[in-house]
Amino acid sequence: MDIIATMSGRKSVRTVAFPPQGSDLMPGQKPDEHCAVIGIIGREQIFPNIVASLKALQHRGQESAGIATYDGSSINLKKGMGLVGEVFQEKDGVLPQSLSGIVGIGHTRYSTQGSKSLENAGPFVISTSVGYMALSHNGEITNAEKLGEELKKRGASFVTTSDTEVMLVEIAKDIAEFGIPRGFRNAMGRLAGAYSASIMVNDRLFAMRDPYGIRPLVLGEVDGSYMISSESCAIDSLGGRLIRDVKPGELVELSSEGITSHFVYAARRTAHCMFEYVYFARPDSVIETREVFEIRKRIGQKLADEHPVDADVVIPVPDSGRTQALGYSEASGIPYDEGLIKNRYSQRTFIMPSQRTRTNAVKLKLNPIRSVVEGKRIVLVDDSIVRGNTIKHIVSLLKKFGAAQVHVRVGCPPILYPCYFGVDMKTRDQFLATGKTIEEIRKTIGADSLGYISIGKLTESLSFSQDQLCLGCLNGAYPAYVPGKNYELQAALEGY
């Protein structure tokens, strides 16, 4: 199903049949990110550019996609389950101009809070006393349940189970009471957790990022239009120019004339998600002035320094370990080669609810190159190990194809604790490393040796200090409030 709606004097919602949603062929093998956000304002129709931008950010969420635009009198919304190209289909090479307007926001989603249903897909649109508002959100509001109950006592009602709806209603309430920008500032003082958001208030476009800067958000310019994006690769895809990151705690307004910063409500420290650099972001993106590709290559280099091994060839787990494997090869002097071929046409065939079907999916997806593998001592490099099913199968597969030895090297320290800030890792029993020593993990996956990069070498690779990063999934110390969890910064954010 998809939803097409117009928020004007009368609201109409029409549902039509839509192709069923597929899923990644290996669901649950790697963590999934919450979503991607886009916002564009210009002097011409921006719908095609929003679609193109969302396609560039498809890796951040494959569950649903949506776009909301303001046409001068109302907000028009379309969203559906599936990939961007499925929800917004081209006909004869032409993208239908179904959503008119010179300002709009877009969203791709993978759910971490709220059920996997169309009603929880973004963007969210509401009618308020100050006009029509729409919001796309990447992250997770950790006190959404508490805020939702408080808002209900004030007369608010909710139609979804998403934390994004709570966030939007809270912002709308505060803007109605205090105006812009004070209403945004008041809302930021009440919202806990991670959020990078693009927001429309009628024809005005805003970008907002949580005070710790947990999730990325950047600003760009494309042919006289200004845009918000979760990653710079979306700006590049339009031939645009990256301007800068939205600062942690900053509210920015974009117009056809340029960009205005209204305020910065920053915490005493940042807490950028290390997993953005390790796994989530596209290698060609630049986050906090750091190119992700170069960071991942440095991770591989430091991994080789920490965990050297006498071997014949370095091969990556495709595609996630490729850049780290290049770095490992450069630092170690061991030749790099492609030893595993990925079947790219089997990824979204059907939903697999059981571990057995997931394991079969791995067998369908990867196949070794015998001439690279047979008789070789292999260094197998991946960006991270979460649940361990994929790496265990790959080690077995390489040995079946004649590998003499398989030495696994991992560009992320052992993941031991859940994430509460927008990553689909919620329970410790999901993690291979829980309650195991490195030697026990090695035996579990069947490797001849196993080496993880240390937290210290990881942070050196990222060119951050440890107190500038969120390392909660590695050490259990969370930078922002999570009910019942160890909160590093117990003191409330200070005012201005």
* Catalytic residue numbers, as ranges: 35
Token reading at 372:
């690279």
The stretches of 401-476 forming alpha helices (DSSP H) are 438-445, 455-462, 472-475
d(CA 107, CA 124): 10
The stretches of 179-231 forming alpha helices (DSSP H) are 182-190
Question: Would you list the DSSP string of 328-360?
Answer: HHHHH-PPB---EEE-TTSTTS----SHHHHHH
Question: Would you list the DSSP string of 77-99?
Answer: EEEEES-HHHHS--BTTB----S
DSSP one-letter code for 159 = S
d(CA 411, CA 38): 29
Residue among 379, 266, 382, 395 at smallest CA distance from 318: 382
The answer to whether the beta carbons of residues 417 and 475 sit under 8 Å apart is: yes
Burial class (CB in 10 A: 0-12, 13-18, 19+), 128: middle
Q: Is 429 helix (H, G, I), strand (E, B) or coil?
A: helix
Residue 217 to residues 129, 197, 298, 422: CA-CA distances in angstroms?
28, 8, 23, 14
What residue type is assigned to position 246 of the chain?
V
Dihedrals φ, ψ of 109, to 5°?
A: -135, 140
Residue among 318, 322, 313, 300 at smallest CA distance from 410: 300
